[in-house]
A and B are shown apart, each in its own frame.
Chain A
Amino acid sequence: MRFMMLMYPQIEDDPESWGPDTESLQAMMKYNQSLSEAGVLLALDGLHAGAEGQRVAFSADGKATVTDGPFTEAKELVGGYWLVQVRSKDEAIEWAKRCPGRNCMVEVRQVQELEDFPPELQAVIDESPVSLGEHAGN
């Protein structure tokens, strides 16, 4: 099973306070190494501050509106993610608990696989030349 662990740093959305300091970066690198040495890490990335990003919101009739950061509800901003391959949700949670986080939240979400969709939706996905992204292995 694949899980995405999404990191939500509970800090101000500005580029200065966004990045980690040396100490927490070292701790994070050590954590990443432990994921890697356990053979569970598929991918990871960190994101720039929301202040440097944009939001594209859609109304009920599908009209797009672009808003520049910073975003006031900074607690809902994703700061980065890990994609892990594990045997159970509990294993993913256990890994998330080991994250050397302070003042942050790690959300554990399972990646959707083809089988998770009802048959009629699977058929739609199958017809598309673009893959779902993850027709993941178990």
Chain B
Amino acid sequence: MPGTDATHRAIDAVWRIESARLIAGLARIVRDVGLAEELAGDALVAALEQWPESGVPDNPGAWLMATAKHRAIDLIRRRATLERKYEQLGRMEERDQQPTEADLVAAIEDPIGDNRLALIFVACHPVLPTEGRVALTLRLIGALSTEEIARAFLVSNATVAQRIVRAKRTLAEAHVPIELPGAAELPERLSSVLEVVYLVFNEGYSTTAGEDWIRPALCEEALRLGRMLAALMPDQPEIHGLVALMAIQASRLRARVGPAGEPILLLDQDRSRWDRVLIRHGVEALDRAIHSGRMLGPYTLQASIAACHARARTPGDTDWEQIAALYDALAQLAPSPIVELNRAVAVSMAFGPAAGLELVDALLASGALNGYHLLQSVRGDLLLRLGRPDEARVELERAAFMTQNERERAMLLARAAGGAGESARS
């Protein structure tokens, strides 16, 4: 039937829009994420059975919600009956207050998006391992199927299915309440949510040419999650900071790979290929983060650095002093050897290669980045700029030996053999 295919695509679209709200509302009443997802899935199955015959209803979201609500209420009634029987047997004196039907209807309506927000916080709960958080978030909030998540993360369906099952079980066993975290808990819980979102983004961003389209689509998923969070919690500056960071990084997706699939470093990219819509979107989000008046968090600082590059019409216009200052702030707030290495690059661009080399040598002495090829690669570039080609060649060859990436190795060896080259991360 020609109409069926169109109906199925329409159902897919409706599901994508509605499922998070549906599952979130149901989870509030049945107090179990796994059960909520099953009930929502039942409603989807009912739609798949009925809509090809009856046509897509005028308000498909309301239809799904009503169907799922009936099933939830049935379930609660059955439970209540069961409990009364237990009580008659004198077995159950103390039980949780079960909600009434009026509670159900109130809980499932979601005028301010609190349910969805609560669901995000539960899916990203620190009690779960990171991979469980990622899988559950993409499944429950992103409406991705197990197969899609598996393809996106280059693991088997069974692995993803198991991660999701385990995550749901862990949440149930730990009695994690399906509600927003209190003020005291909020900073830690929010940072767990943002970590998951950024991890999804980076998985998509690390895609190389020729891979399944669904991998780079993870960047879009992460941005969507970020924008959703920003709309639901507009007073959290770090959410806007993360949205800004992801949007500006994503703006370079088209420019950072050459025709043969070779990586193109930031300063060598064709800036006309940068996505202006995403840059504008990112800069707006960054403004909101900065104008919150609160101390800048690590995502906002990284977004500010990304924005410095986005604002420069040519590499020569880059405000390296500003970038070095931002890396100073980031190194104090969230110190890490990688931040320190990037700071060294920025300092070398702002104040000359000798100043950068000083920082790189300190890092080298600390041993924190032992075996990390970019340390050698940066050092090699700085030595080249200082007119010390023999030492530079040794470092670049060492870096080439250390990298796992064939294309990067070829680039490093070419630089070692050929001389001048600049360094910056894409």
Which residues does A use to contact B, with CB under 8 Å?
2, 33, 36-43, 83, 85, 87-88, 90-91, 93-95, 114, 126, 128-131, 133-138
Binds A, one of B39-47, B272-280, B347-355: B272-280
Tell me the smallest distance from the CB of B113 to a CB of chain A, in Å.
5
**Nearest A residue (CB) for B313:** A129
Are A138 and B217 in contact, with the CB atoms below 8 A? yes
CB-CB under 8 A from B225, the residues of chain A are 39
Given A95-B17, A135-B273, A136-B275, does the pair A90, B226 have CB atoms closer than 8 Å? Answer: no
- Identify which of B13, B216, B232, B274 contacts A90 (C-beta below 8 A): B13
Are B272 and A134 in contact, with the CB atoms below 8 A? no
The answer to the question of B398 belonging to the interface, with a C-beta cut-off of 8 Å to chain A, is: no
The answer to the question of B394 belonging to the interface, with a C-beta cut-off of 8 Å to chain A, is: no
Are B232 and A126 in contact, with the CB atoms below 8 A? no
Are A42 and B277 in contact, with the CB atoms below 8 A? yes
Are A90 and B277 in contact, with the CB atoms below 8 A? no
Give complex CA distance A88, B220 in Å: 12
Binary contact track B380-420/A, C-beta < 8 Å → 1, others 0:
00000000000000000000000000000000000000000
Are A128 and B231 in contact, with the CB atoms below 8 A? no
Are A126 and B272 in contact, with the CB atoms below 8 A? yes
Tell me the smallest distance from the CB of B133 to a CB of chain A, in Å.
18
- Identify which of B16, B272, B280 contacts A91 (C-beta below 8 A): B16
Give complex CA distance A38, B110 in Å: 13
Query: Could you write out 11 A-B pairs with CB less than 8 Å apart?
Result: A36-B227, A38-B17, A39-B226, A39-B231, A42-B281, A90-B9, A91-B16, A134-B275, A136-B275, A137-B223, A138-B220
CB-CB under 8 A from A43, the residues of chain B are 277, 280-281
Most buried by B among A128, A134, A135: A135
Give complex CA distance A88, B8 in Å: 13
Tell me the smallest distance from the CB of A52 to a CB of chain B, in Å.
26
The answer to the question of B190 belonging to the interface, with a C-beta cut-off of 8 Å to chain A, is: no
Most buried by B among A41, A87, A95, A137: A137
The answer to the question of B107 belonging to the interface, with a C-beta cut-off of 8 Å to chain A, is: no
Are A131 and B272 in contact, with the CB atoms below 8 A? yes
The answer to the question of B63 belonging to the interface, with a C-beta cut-off of 8 Å to chain A, is: no
**Nearest A residue (CB) for B234:** A36
Tell me the smallest distance from the CB of A133 to a CB of chain B, in Å.
6
Tell me the smallest distance from the CB of A81 to a CB of chain B, in Å.
13
The answer to the question of B341 belonging to the interface, with a C-beta cut-off of 8 Å to chain A, is: no
- Identify which of B219, B228, B273 contacts A126 (C-beta below 8 A): B273
Tell me the smallest distance from the CB of B247 to a CB of chain A, in Å.
9
Are B273 and A94 in contact, with the CB atoms below 8 A? no
Give complex CA distance A64, B116 in Å: 53
Are B226 and A138 in contact, with the CB atoms below 8 A? no
- 9 closest cross-chain pairs (CB), A and B: A39-B228, A39-B224, A39-B227, A90-B13, A36-B231, A94-B13, A91-B13, A37-B231, A90-B9
CB-CB under 8 A from B254, the residues of chain A are 114, 135, 137
CB-CB under 8 A from B276, the residues of chain A are 131, 133-134
Binary contact track B247-281/A, C-beta < 8 Å → 1, others 0:
00010011100000000000000101111111011
CB-CB under 8 A from B48, the residues of chain A are none
Are A88 and B9 in contact, with the CB atoms below 8 A? yes
Are A94 and B213 in contact, with the CB atoms below 8 A? no
Tell me the smallest distance from the CB of B210 to a CB of chain A, in Å.
14
CB-CB under 8 A from B220, the residues of chain A are 85, 87, 137-138
**Nearest B residue (CB) for A91:** B13
Give complex CA distance A43, B278 in Å: 10
Are A137 and B275 in contact, with the CB atoms below 8 A? yes
Most buried by A among B10, B272, B277: B277
Binary contact track B3-23/A, C-beta < 8 Å → 1, others 0:
000000110111011000000
Are B272 and A128 in contact, with the CB atoms below 8 A? yes
Are B223 and A129 in contact, with the CB atoms below 8 A? no
CB-CB under 8 A from A114, the residues of chain B are 254, 273
Give complex CA distance A94, B59 in Å: 10
Given A39-B226, A94-B14, does the pair A134, B9 have CB atoms closer than 8 Å? Answer: no
Give complex CA distance A130, B223 in Å: 25
Give complex CA distance A40, B220 in Å: 10
Give complex CA distance A135, B17 in Å: 25
Tell me the smallest distance from the CB of A106 to a CB of chain B, in Å.
15
Please name 15 further chain A to chain B contacts, defined as beta carbons within 8 Å, in addition to the given A128-B272, A130-B272, A131-B275, sorted by A numbering. A36-B231, A37-B116, A39-B224, A40-B227, A42-B281, A90-B13, A126-B270, A126-B273, A131-B273, A131-B276, A133-B276, A134-B276, A135-B254, A136-B277, A137-B223
Are B216 and A137 in contact, with the CB atoms below 8 A? yes
Give complex CA distance A10, B219 in Å: 38
Tell me the smallest distance from the CB of B335 to a CB of chain A, in Å.
32
Are B277 and A83 in contact, with the CB atoms below 8 A? yes
**Nearest A residue (CB) for B111:** A30
Most buried by A among B113, B231, B255: B231
CB-CB under 8 A from A95, the residues of chain B are 17
- Identify which of B13, B250, B270 contacts A137 (C-beta below 8 A): B250
